[in-house]
């Protein structure tokens, strides 16, 4: 980032953590301004002012604008997209097709609800992944290990048990699953924000489409 604020604050070390309320205010102000104006254009002075504090205090706690951006992505944006519901994929107990469809439906509805509460998070993440190659590589590596590999492994177990069609590999199915879900969220909250969406019917269509690919035509049509 070619920002004088970054260079000016890069040598500073973060100080003691602020109160939870002040830290949350600074992070939320950064989310709001980053989404509205872009990370390059939003200044740390504006962020601090919107949070009700000073730029000196902001640098004291985050060290630099680079570290503030990292905190926003890691502590606000990415954390907001995590869900306890995904932990079910780690369970050795396999889904039945009907159970997987129910889980998929609740999983996507939960993501939609989270995005409706904090739509700026998706805009910032998608924007930065496209803009910052280094961030995209780091995020991709973490995402694959924490999210993609576990789902692929669970689908592999279901396929070995005869629950999933052998027409596609577990990796291809996992890729399709995330393409459908992430593509929907990207379109709804970043590309066509504010359009007329119907969560219930949209989710049902997404779930049925993935179910059909897995060979669950009977379950998908129910």
Domain 4-72 shares a fold with domain 82-221: no
Radius of gyration of the chain (CA): 20
Four-way CATH pick for 4-72: 1.10.443.10, 3.10.20.740, 3.20.20.140, 1.10.10.60: 1.10.10.60
CA dihedral angle for residue 67, residue 121, residue 133, residue 69, rounded to 10 degrees: -10
- Cα–Cα distances (Å) from 178 to 7, 64, 147, 214, in that order, read 37, 34, 10, 14
pTM (two decimals): 0.71
Provide the terminal-to-terminal Cα distance of the chain, rounded to the nearest Å.
52
Q: Say which residues have a Cβ less than 8 Å from residue 46's Cβ, sequence separation at least 6.
A: 33
Fold of the 82-221 domain:
Tetracycline Repressor; domain 2 (1.10.357)
DSSP-derived 3-state class of residue 163: coil
Q: Tell the residue number behind the tokens 């869900």, with chain if given.
A: 83
What's the CA gap between 142 and 34, in Å, rounded?
Answer: 23
- Express each pLDDT in 83-129 by its tens digit: 667 788 888 899 999 999 999 999 999 889 888 877 777 777 777 77
pLDDT of residue 105: 96
> 11: phi > 0 → left, psi -120 to 50 → alpha, else beta; which?
alpha
What's the CA gap between 125 and 121, in Å, rounded?
Answer: 6
Burial class of residue 165 in the structure, from the number of CB atoms within 10 Å of its CB (0-12 exposed, 13-18 middle, 19+ buried) = middle
- Express each pLDDT in 30-57 by its tens digit: 988 987 887 888 999 999 999 999 999 9
Q: Where are the domains of the chain?
A: 4-72, 82-221
């Amino acid at each position: 980032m070619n920002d004088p604020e970054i260079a000016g604050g890069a040598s500073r070390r973060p100080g003691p953590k602020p109160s939870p309320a002040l830290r949350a205010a600074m992070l939320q102000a950064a989310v709001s301004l980053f989404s509205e104006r872009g990370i390059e254009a939003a200044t740390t002075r504006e962020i601090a002012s919107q949070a009700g504090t000073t730029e000196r205090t902001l640098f004291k706690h985050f060290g630099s604008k680079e570290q503030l951006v990292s905190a926003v992505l890691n502590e606000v944006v990415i954390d907001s997209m995590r869900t306890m519901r995904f932990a079910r994929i780690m369970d050795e107990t396999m889904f039945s097709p009907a159970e997987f469809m129910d889980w998929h439906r609740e999983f996507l509805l939960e993501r939609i609800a989270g995005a409706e509460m904090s739509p700026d998070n998706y805009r910032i993440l998608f924007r930065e992944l496209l803009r910052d190659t280094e961030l995209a590589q780091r995020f991709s590596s973490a995402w694959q290990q924490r999210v993609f590999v576990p789902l692929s492994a669970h689908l592999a177990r279901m396929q070995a048990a005869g629950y999933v069609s052998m027409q596609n590999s577990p990796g291809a199915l996992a890729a399709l699953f995330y393409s459908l879900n992430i593509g929907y969220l990207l379109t709804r909250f970043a590309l066509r924000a504010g359009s007329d969406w119907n969560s219930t019917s949209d989710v049902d269509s997404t779930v049925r489409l993935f179910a059909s690919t897995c060979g669950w035509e009977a379950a998908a049509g129910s």
